[in-house]
Amino acid sequence: MAETRNALIEMKNINLDFGTVNALSDVSVNFYQGELVGLVGDNGAGKTTLIRILSGMYAPTSGEVYFDGQRITRFHPKLAIDLGIETIQQTVGLCDNLSIARNYYLGREPVKRWLGIIPVLDFAKMRESSNKVIRNFGLRDTVNVDDEVALLSGGEGQSFKIGRAVDFRNRVIIMDEPTNHLSVRERAHVNELALQLRDQGLLVIYITHDIFQVHRLADRIVILENGRKVVDILKAEMSAEALEQIIRDGGREASEGTA
């Protein structure tokens, strides 16, 4: 089914070396619009490295990346954002020292002109947009948009990042371990948001090492191991237990099976 559609993101034979370390070897994977893909693997398997290519933080050493059929040749966070690819990472994305309103449009700040010439940050717009997001995405009522991000809880920070990504009408949301360090209730909230985004027709790439959690959410599961893709299946094809066994075995069985 999926194969007959055009992939939104197509990664072909991706290699990425850090000096002598081979972080990704010959990874080919497609991502389609409107699906939630669980990208799973043990620590150091290359999950984060792979999505950092999509978010423009790293450029592949070799291989090809296509977005919506267009070959991507330059990798920069700004370009990824312009294409509508938003990456939500646990530790990155918000500056603690800035207010919610200032964080909201960081990097693409709205500007109005005083007396028609002097450019000034459009604080009214910054406050209004960010206020809408923090009210819709379940932050505490005591939080307001002029508060610094340092005052938010971990879950509130994540919710705000997701809300911002949604509000910017992105096409791809990459969630990198989005529920680490969150309370049970916050975790359920974030997972619920991931499903909502998928239902709105976005491509959601959900990275985790918790196969059981993502098996419940995802349409498709991709497993990386030692920088190689070892599994790429629709969820229905394999149980979470079987997938976990593959990860435990270091992906050996699966790669031998497909080789």
Partner 1 sequence: MPRQWIGILRKRTEVGAAVVTILLVIGFTATTEGVWLSNANMREVLRVTSILAMMAFGEALVITTGQIDVSVGSIFGVVGILFLALGPQIGAPLAILIALVAAIAIGAVNGFIVAYFRISPLVVTLGTLFVFRGLAIGATQNPPYYAADNTMRANPIYQIFGSSDVFGYNNALVWAIVTLLFLHYVLFWTPIGNRLLAVGGNAESARSRGVSIMYTKWGAYVACGFFAGLAGILETSDLGYVDGSFGRQRELQAIAAAVLGGCALAGGRSSIVGTFLGAFILSGIQSYLVINSIPPQWFILLLGLIVVLVSLGNRVLTHLLTRLARAEKTKD
Q: In the complex, which residues of this chain contact partner 1 (CB under 8 A)? A: 55, 57, 76-78, 81-82, 87, 89, 91-98, 102-103, 106-109, 111, 119-121, 140, 142-143, 147-148, 150-151
- Give me the least distance between CB of 228 and partner 1, in Å please: 26
Ordered alpha helix ranges (H), the chain? 47-54, 77-83, 100-104, 123-136, 154-167, 184-199, 211-217, 240-248, 252-258
Tell the smallest beta-carbon distance from residue 20 to partner 1 (Å): 21
> Could you tell me the smallest distance in angstroms from the CB atom of residue 144 to partner 1?
10
The nearer residue to partner 1, 88 or 223, going by C-beta atoms, is 88
Residue 59 or 151 with smaller CB distance to partner 1: 151
The angle that helices 123-136 and 154-167 make with each other, rounded to 10 degrees, is 120
Assess contact for 16 and 49: CB atoms under 8 A.
Answer: yes
Q: How far apart are CA 146 and CA 127, in angstroms?
A: 8
The residue with tokens 């993502």 is: 214
Shortest Å, Cβ 125 to partner 1: 13
* Residue 251 to residue 243: CA distance in whole angstroms: 9
Q: Is the Cβ of residue 32 or residue 105 nearer to partner 1 in the bound state?
A: 105
Alpha-carbon distances of 198 from 68, 166, 195, rounded to whole Å: 17, 11, 5
What residues pair up with 207 in beta bridges, in sequence order? 39, 176
Query: Which is closer to partner 1, CB of 119 or CB of 257?
Result: 119
Using alpha carbons only, give the angle 137, 8, 66 rounded to the nearest 5 degrees.
125
Closest approach of partner 1 to the CB of residue 146, in Å? 8
Q: Which is nearer to partner 1, 102 or 229 (CB)?
A: 102
